[in-house]
């Protein structure tokens, strides 16, 4: 049976690789997705193959495996995750340095008993004043001499057959050395050392941790933000992401008990944003349920089926590529404990492809719960016109690995201001209130560094914005 499954996995992997178009980002879900709303990259339902996918990345390890997982459980028979433990043990045997951090406050972690006794492990504090180490990440070859070998595996999924196959979860895999280094620095702070052996006396968990300040990355031309809780004020970044929605907003959440987020979502809805969400029934008795159910009515669904709805994601402006489409995901539930006590990791990926991929999963889940989502019209063209004083404004090439060229026709003499705005709000003026004669206008410019930007042109009372990608 396992041989047959492995053969199917090879075929599945080939199609998954083609679908992801060699991206450094891969997103996987463990329940059906709706590819009819795909904009070019289809979401992938692993459908029982998360363990095989995890093993494939473990088998790639040449130097190091750093693992911080809330719960690694193994039952017996068809519920066994012994194959994952075997892959870890095989890596250790071939010389890979393996370090493992686990939650020591309420998790069973029965799978740890299957690991080679020589593998160093560290449990989070179980004493009063600490809550839980809730991360679910793995770093493969973070300090490989070949930066293309550094992999971060994260998302909402604990390592158990129930989480892999029954509960609703998502996995994010990112190939990037700088991001891997940031995760390793966080791991080392909890580990208490940079070496193979932990130093419990120097380790920091929960509120004892400090903000390491490594939050912004440009990966494949996409801006990625990374925050660890509780040191990095993650809650403020979740709130900012919610408040950034201009066209549509969707979420899927296991624990949603933080009232501020519920109020912010309702405020976006009242400001004309198309809003829909899914909560697990776990949060039913909280005041957030009443807020969302009362204000969103049929656009709010509660999951009470088999297993749990364990996702922790937000999708912003999936239909509006002229805005800032993003996905927020990771281990962080929307609770006060996640903000102020637990060890958590959160990624914010600014990318229309990621937003659409997650939307394909959300739509399938929402429809399965009896909901209906209407198509939203966002940005329909990358070259809108500014009439009457400016026509045919374009920026090319876009994306670009170097300089951009701004061009347009100016219909009457006027003052022009052109600014480049980074994703964190920094403004760089290319032209500031310069007088321009009528006729054809052309200006070459460069952005400070690779990433996602918005170019803004102001002419009198007219404003034009367009999204730029510098690779």
CATH of the domain at 146: 3.30.870.10
Q: What are phi and psi for residue 340, nearest 5 degrees?
A: -115, -15
Q: Is the pLDDT of residue 10 over 70?
A: no
Q: Which pLDDT belongs to residue 297?
A: 98
Distances in whole angstroms, Cα of residue 205 to Cα of each of 101, 121, 140, 405: 11, 15, 22, 49
Any domain includes 405: yes
DSSP characters over 320-347: -TTS--EEEEES--BSHHHHHTSBEEEE
Mean pLDDT of 458-469: 75
* pLDDT at position 181 over 70: yes
- Give, as one character, the DSSP assignment of residue 191: H
Handedness of CA 84, 86, 88, 94 (dihedral sign): negative
Q: Are 153 and 183 in contact (CB under 8 A)?
A: no
Tokens of 334: 């929307």
For 295-303, what is the mean pLDDT?
98
Residue 21 scores a pLDDT above 70: no
Q: Is the pLDDT of residue 447 over 90?
A: no
Which among 312, 336, 368 is the end of a domain? Answer: 368
Phi, psi of 309 (to 5 degrees): -90, 95
Q: Is the pLDDT of residue 382 over 60?
A: no
Q: Are 339 and 229 in contact (CB under 8 A)?
A: yes
Q: Is the peptide bond before 140 cis (omega within 30 degrees of 0)?
A: no
Least confident of 37-51, 359-373, 446-460: 446-460
Distances (CA, A) of 407 to 390, 416, 445, 460: 10, 13, 11, 18
Highest mean pLDDT among 149-153, 385-389, 395-399: 149-153
Same domain, 332 and 425: no
| Residue 18 confidence (pLDDT) above 70 | no
Does a structural domain hold residue 296? Answer: yes
Q: What is the average pLDDT score of the chain?
A: 89
Judged against a pLDDT cut of 80, whether residue 19 lies above it is answered with no
State whether residue 395 is helix, strand or coil.
strand
Comparing 6-10, 132-136, 217-221, 392-396, the range with the smallest average pLDDT is: 6-10
Calpha distance 413→288 (Å, rounded): 54
**Pick from 325, 405, 324, 394: nearest CA to 357:** 325
Instruction: Note whether 352 and 413 are same-domain residues.
Output: no
DSSP 125: P
In a domain, 381, yes or no: no
Rounded to the nearest 10 degrees, how much is the dihedral formed by the CA atoms of 216, 221, 222, 226?
Answer: -20
Alpha carbon distance 28, 204 (integer Å)? 31
Domain with 447, as residue range(s), is: 390-470
SS3 category, 174: strand
Say whether both 311 and 458 belong to one domain. no
Domains contained in the chain, number: 2
Share of the chain above pLDDT 70, in %: 91
Residue showing tokens 């939307």: 359
Domain assignment present for 123: yes
Alpha-carbon separation of residue 453 from 247, 266, 354, 420, 427 (angstroms): 19, 28, 17, 7, 10
Model pTM above 0.85: no
What ranges make up the beta strands (E) of 91-198? 97-102, 120-123, 136-140, 151-155, 170-175
Averaged pLDDT, 25-31 = 97
Residue 445 lies in a domain: yes
For residues 358 and 276, what is the distance between their CA atoms, to the nearest angstrom? 13
If asked whether residues 310 and 438 sit together in one domain, one would say no
Indicate if 305 and 423 belong to the same structural domain: no
Tokens of 8: 């199917």
The pLDDT of residue 411 is: 80
What is d(CA 136, CA 69) in angstroms, rounded to the nearest whole number? 4
Q: Are residues 399 and 342 in the same domain?
A: no
- Domain assignment present for residue 374? The answer is no
Euclidean distance between CA atoms 96 and 141, whole angstroms: 9
CATH code: domain of residue 421? 2.60.40.10
pLDDT bracket for residue 76 (50, 70, 90): low
- Of 185-199, 355-369, 389-403, the least confident: 389-403
- The residue among 368, 398, 433 that closes a domain is 368
Interval 117-141 mean pLDDT = 92
């Amino acid at each position: 049976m396992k041989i047959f499954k492995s053969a199917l996995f090879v075929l599945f992997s080939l199609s998954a690789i083609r679908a992801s178009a060699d991206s450094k980002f891969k997103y996987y879900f463990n329940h059906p997705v709706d590819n009819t709303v795909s904009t070019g990259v289809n979401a992938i339902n692993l459908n029982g193959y998360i363990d095989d996918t995890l093993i494939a990345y473990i088998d790639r390890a040449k130097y190091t495996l750093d693992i911080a997982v809330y719960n690694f459980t193994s039952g017996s028979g068809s519920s066994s995750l012994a194959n994952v433990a075997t892959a870890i043990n095989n890596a250790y045997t071939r010389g890979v340095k393996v370090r493992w951090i686990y939650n020591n406050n309420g998790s069973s972690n029965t799978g740890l008993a299957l690991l080679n006794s020589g593998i160093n492990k560290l449990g989070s504090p179980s004493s009063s004043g600490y809550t839980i180490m809730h991360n679910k990440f793995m770093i493969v070859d973070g300090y490989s001499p070949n930066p293309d070998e550094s992999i971060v595996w994260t998302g909402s999924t604990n390592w158990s057959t129930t989480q892999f196959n029954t509960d609703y979860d998502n996995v994010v895999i990112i190939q990037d050395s700088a991001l891997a280094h940031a995760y390793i620095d966080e791991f080392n702070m909890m580990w208490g050392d940079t070496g193979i052996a932990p130093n419990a006396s120097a380790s920091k968990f929960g509120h004892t941790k400090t903000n390491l300040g490594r939050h912004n990355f440009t990966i494949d031309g996409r801006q990625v933000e990374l925050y660890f809780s509780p040191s990095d004020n993650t809650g403020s970044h979740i709130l900012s992401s919610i408040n950034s929605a201009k066209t549509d907003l969707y979420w899927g959440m296991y624990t949603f008990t933080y009232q501020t987020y519920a109020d912010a979502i309702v405020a976006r809805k009242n400001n004309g944003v198309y809003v829909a969400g899914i909560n697990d029934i776990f949060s039913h008795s909280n005041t957030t349920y009443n807020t969302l159910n009362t204000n969103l009515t049929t656009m709010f669904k509660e999951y009470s089926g088999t297993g749990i709805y364990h996702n922790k994601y937000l999708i912003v402006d999936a239909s509006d590529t002229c805005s800032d489409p993003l996905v927020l995901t990771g281990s962080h539930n929307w609770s006060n404990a996640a903000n102020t006590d637990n060890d958590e990791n959160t990624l914010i990926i600014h990318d229309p492809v990621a937003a659409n991929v997650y939307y394909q999963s959300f739509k399938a889940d929402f429809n399965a719960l009896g909901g209906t989502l209407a198509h939203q019209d966002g940005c329909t063209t990358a070259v809108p016109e500014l009439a009457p004083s400016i026509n045919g404004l374009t920026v090319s090439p876009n994306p670009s690995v170097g300089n951009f060229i701004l061009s347009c026709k100016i219909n009457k003499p006027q003052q022009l201001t052109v600014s480049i705005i980074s994703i964190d709000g920094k403004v760089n003026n290319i032209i500031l209130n310069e007088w321009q004669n009528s006729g054809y206008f052309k200006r070459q410019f460069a952005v400070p560094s690779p990433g996602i930007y918005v170019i803004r042109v102001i002419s009198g009372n007219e404003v034009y914005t367009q999204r730029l990608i510098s690779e």
